[in-house]
Chains A and B, each alone.
Chain A
């Protein structure tokens, strides 16, 4: 743990204030060194009051993701987020996580960026990631799965992201098959999983998550405006992106443990409860092919079973789902 991590952790666990001498004892450094670190935190936007009676007290944190601050609040037993970094700007956090993965980083690494210049979705689509408006993150996993079993991570991540949003905001997220997270029918989070595998063995998986937190309507590019939303738009208030990021890591950690402990069916059940695509008339577009029908149910692997207009049951594992309106 860095000094800043320890200082922030002490300030956060002593909301009434922590004395300079306590900090000195805890960290084994001088008063002057403590003061210098406090000054540096203030320069980063942390509002810290100092008074002779109560010592240092944290009154406000900046709207900024800070690796020390995140680290100070992540329980030591958590795998996801145990290694992390925050970048001011990058092309895509998936690219960065991929680079770390190639260098042998261990699983659980979380890469955050305050903005992405080439945030991406499926098939090279753009994910708008303006500075300090959302949580743009990639998680490195090394699951003990075959390539085919990795689709379970899609199911898992949708459940984790939806639950994190619900716990932090009280909003009621829905899942659009397979893992878009919607609020009142509009997309608020997207998840893109990229895998590096050999024929029978997964080297690693990068779970990329884009979560729209504090955007207003005006922050969205014209082409996604009609279909996108943010936590702020839906709830009428802004959220601490640090808290949202921590909730994401925590819920992912808990579900990933369940998944690795062989509890996929429990996760899939939770997913089914949140998936609002079921029962609807939908069109699935795969390349230049379209499948139309009623989304009937999910099979045990999470694939969508579509009852076509001809009564045949088709198993859908990819493509773009659009839900027919006015039915």
Chain B
């Protein structure tokens, strides 16, 4: 795979609004994730020697619930949908102090979009939007304590 292939994949992702894509071949793996801004792609890739392929024992079964059930419909935000903190902790709006925030006001989010991290005693909890919509309000501050049930973000329908 060369740069040209990569570029055409990214273009395809953009055209079809695919936000994340993972591709694996022998000794090669690539994960593409589109960033916050339209058309911006973050590329994670790694090379893994074929010799070092993971050796799995007793292939992990798919957990109950993941099989046989129809995919759940995507939850869509209503006016004023709130994202609340599931625990007491410290809120971080980015993965590291010099990284850009996970989300900004006006950004579109999907149920799987990470909006912040809450840390309590070195347990890092990635908080996801859990609905589809647009960030309307950022209520909690970076690096500040949050309480259980405290509103962190408000989301509106797009």
Chain A positions within 8 Å of B, measured between CB atoms, are 1-2, 67-68, 71, 82-91, 96, 100, 103-106, 109, 111, 114, 117, 122-125, 146-148, 150-151, 153-155, 178-179, 191-200, 205, 286-289, 302-303, 317-319
B155 CB, min distance to chain A CBs, angstroms: 14
Q: Taking the complex as formed, is B125 at the interface, i.e. its CB lies under 8 A from any CB of chain A?
A: yes
Q: Taking the complex as formed, is B86 at the interface, i.e. its CB lies under 8 A from any CB of chain A?
A: yes
Could you say which of A89, A104, A147 contacts B66, with CB atoms under 8 Å apart?
A: A104
On whether the beta carbons of A197 and B55 are closer than 8 Å, the reply is: no
Q: Is the interface of B mostly helix, strand, loop or mixed?
A: loop
Bound CA–CA A205/B44 (angstroms): 23
List, in ascending order, chain A residues with CB within 8 A of B55's CB: 2, 67-68, 84-86
List, in ascending order, chain B residues with CB within 8 A of A123's CB: 92, 95-97
Bound CA–CA A19/B48 (angstroms): 38
Could you say which of B57, B58, B89, B126 contacts A317, with CB atoms under 8 Å apart?
A: B89
A191-B122 CB under 8 A given contacts A148-B148, A287-B144: yes
How many residues on chain B are close to A (CB under 8 Å)? Answer: 42
List, in ascending order, chain A residues with CB within 8 A of B18's CB: none
List, in ascending order, chain A residues with CB within 8 A of B66's CB: 104
Nearest neighbor of B47 in chain A, beta-carbon distance: A89
Bound CA–CA A84/B86 (angstroms): 31
Q: Taking the complex as formed, is B68 at the interface, i.e. its CB lies under 8 A from any CB of chain A?
A: no
On whether the beta carbons of B46 and A90 are closer than 8 Å, the reply is: yes
Nearest neighbor of A196 in chain B, beta-carbon distance: B126
On whether the beta carbons of B122 and A154 are closer than 8 Å, the reply is: yes
A122-B119 CB under 8 A given contacts A71-B57, A89-B48, A90-B46: yes
Bound CA–CA A106/B86 (angstroms): 24
On whether the beta carbons of A154 and B57 are closer than 8 Å, the reply is: no
Q: Taking the complex as formed, is B74 at the interface, i.e. its CB lies under 8 A from any CB of chain A?
A: no
A151-B121 CB under 8 A given contacts A123-B92, A318-B90: yes
B84 CB, min distance to chain A CBs, angstroms: 7
A195-B49 CB under 8 A given contacts A124-B99, A148-B86: no
List, in ascending order, chain A residues with CB within 8 A of B119's CB: 122, 318
List, in ascending order, chain A residues with CB within 8 A of B46's CB: 90-91, 117
A200-B96 CB under 8 A given contacts A82-B58, A83-B56, A122-B124: no
Q: Taking the complex as formed, is B42 at the interface, i.e. its CB lies under 8 A from any CB of chain A?
A: no
A286-B63 CB under 8 A given contacts A87-B48, A200-B86: no
Q: Taking the complex as formed, is B23 at the interface, i.e. its CB lies under 8 A from any CB of chain A?
A: no
* Interface residues as binary, B45-76 with A (CB distance below 8 Å gives 1, 0 otherwise): 01011011011111011110010000000000
